[in-house]
Amino acid sequence: MKKIYNCDFLNTSLHFLSNNLRFCCAPAHDGPNIDSRYPGAKNIFTALMKIRQQAVNEMKEHIAPKKCEGCIYLKEYDLDSPLLCVDNIERQDSEPLISNIIINHFQQCDCYCIYCPIQMTTKMIVTEPQKSDYYDLYPIIKQFYKEKLIDKENLKVEFQGGSIGVLKEFADLVNIFVENGVKEIKFFTNGIKFMPEIVEASEKTKVVIITSIDAGTRETFKRIKILDKFDIVVENLRQYRAKCKNIEMYTKFVLMEKINDSKEELNNFLKLSQLVDADKVQLDFDYNKFMNSKGVRNYVPEHFYELFEYFKEQGNLLNLNPFIWEYTQQVLDKGYFE
Ligand code: SF4
Ligand code: SF4
């Protein structure tokens, strides 16, 4: 009985960070990666692909690559099992095209969430569109298309950030993906600025909007985001729902101790999610608190368990498809994060 490891992120994804190119965005593991001030340069990409090959070779020998040890996305397969999904494993053998791009090379933001690791460093609200402090991604993506490194038919893109509302090359990036037939674009947006590019993209492809509101009332929103923009965000989400042709909308709530961790706040948030006609509601942790103390075992506060259960129950009652990220579910099951 031969066992191997596999990771689909490693096989298909590229994650562009400020000064780092890697395959995944697993929060507690970096995976194989390369530090560079210009991560999209061809030599960097080629070097990363060599690292990938090395990691794949290890996985085939049932060895977990060092930077993947303990990651939930590192899956173990039994090659003799009739349940084996051959598709996943076949990708290990080839140099696969990129079918998942995560964009995270910009940090400027027009909001000031108190749990945000970016704001803890930059301490700045940006209101006008800016170039990334690190590098322009548009020419890199253009080059990738030219060199046929992208699986055009199956490409899914995810804009993280920063705020897409103040990313100068945002329109160019959306356009190049749409022009090349992207299958889906996911936008993490704080909702403060309405982006017509999202509406236009929804005419030609599926768009997914994920907005972390973290509150059900204006007062709590202001405590968390510092800015008094609750009404604007709600109105923008309603506009996306009304104007986008092919859209899936998630509203999200990041639980913070002693700030929004009550059933009342969750109830208000769920009502608000109904108002904007969200397809799914997501409950999550403030991971920054955990990540600031890596190596230390942070236990999930006892009352969070009740809140997660309550959220699922009420979300289901309201047909809001409550969703818990698998990574978060794993932390809940273990009881701690480290
Ligand atoms: S196993 Fe985890 S850390 Fe390694 S590449 Fe995959 S997602 Fe990233
Ligand atoms: S919207 Fe996102 S990037 Fe901006 S401050 Fe909030 S968490 Fe940070």
Token representation of residue 101: 């791009």
Mean pLDDT of 42-50: 87
Q: Are 312 and 271 in contact (CB under 8 A)?
A: no
Dump pLDDT digits (tens) for 81-102.
776 776 666 667 677 789 999 9
Q: Report d(CA 209, CA 197) in Å as an integer.
A: 12
Nearest CA to ligand 2 atom 6: 113
Using a 6 Å cutoff on CB, does residue 195 contact ligand 1? Answer: no
Residue 218's pLDDT band (cuts 50, 70, 90): very high
CA of 304 to the centre of ligand 2 (A): 23
Give the closest ligand to the alpha carbon of residue 15. Answer: 1
Mean pLDDT of 271-292: 90
Q: What is the DSSP letter of 300?
A: P
Using a 6 Å cutoff on CB, does residue 99 contact ligand 2? Answer: no
Write down the pLDDT at residue 28.
75
- If one residue of 17, 104, 119, 125 were mutated to test the ligand 2 pocket, choosing by the most ligand atoms within 8 A of its CB, it would be 119
The answer to whether residue 166 scores a pLDDT higher than 90 is yes
CA of 74 to the centre of ligand 1 (A): 6
Q: Is 324 exposed, middle or buried (0-12, 13-18, 19+ CB in 10 A)?
A: middle
Q: Report d(CA 16, CA 102) in Å as an integer.
A: 6
Nearest CA to ligand 1 atom 6: 7
Average pLDDT of the chain?
Answer: 92
Dump pLDDT digits (tens) for 287-319.
877 667 767 888 899 999 999 999 999 999 999
Of the candidate ranges 11-15, 77-81, 205-209, the one whose mean pLDDT is the lowest: 77-81
Mean pLDDT of 252-267: 96
CA of 95 to the centre of ligand 2 (A): 35
- If one residue of 5, 23, 52 were mutated to test the ligand 1 pocket, choosing by the most ligand atoms within 8 A of its CB, it would be 23
Backbone CA torsion sign across 264, 269, 270, 271: positive
Alpha-helix runs per DSSP H in the chain: 8-12, 42-60, 86-93, 117-122, 138-146, 170-179, 196-204, 218-225, 230-243, 263-275, 287-291, 302-317, 326-334
Q: Write down the domain spans for the chain.
A: 3-93, 100-337
The CATH architecture to which 100-337 belongs is: Alpha-Beta Barrel (3.20)
Q: Are 121 and 32 in contact (CB under 8 A)?
A: no
CA of 113 to the centre of ligand 2 (A): 5
Nearest CA to ligand 1 atom 3: 31
CA of 58 to the centre of ligand 1 (A): 13
The answer to whether residue 281 scores a pLDDT higher than 90 is yes
Dump pLDDT digits (tens) for 171-207.
999 999 999 999 999 999 999 999 999 999 999 999 9
Write down the pLDDT at residue 239.
98
Write down the pLDDT at residue 272.
98
One-letter identity of residue 82: P
For ligand 2, what atom is nearest to the CA of residue 188?
2
Write down the pLDDT at residue 240.
98
4 to each of 29, 60, 322, how far by Cα in Å?
A: 20, 5, 34
Q: Report d(CA 167, CA 193) in Å as an integer.
A: 11
CA of 135 to the centre of ligand 2 (A): 20
The answer to whether residue 229 scores a pLDDT higher than 90 is yes
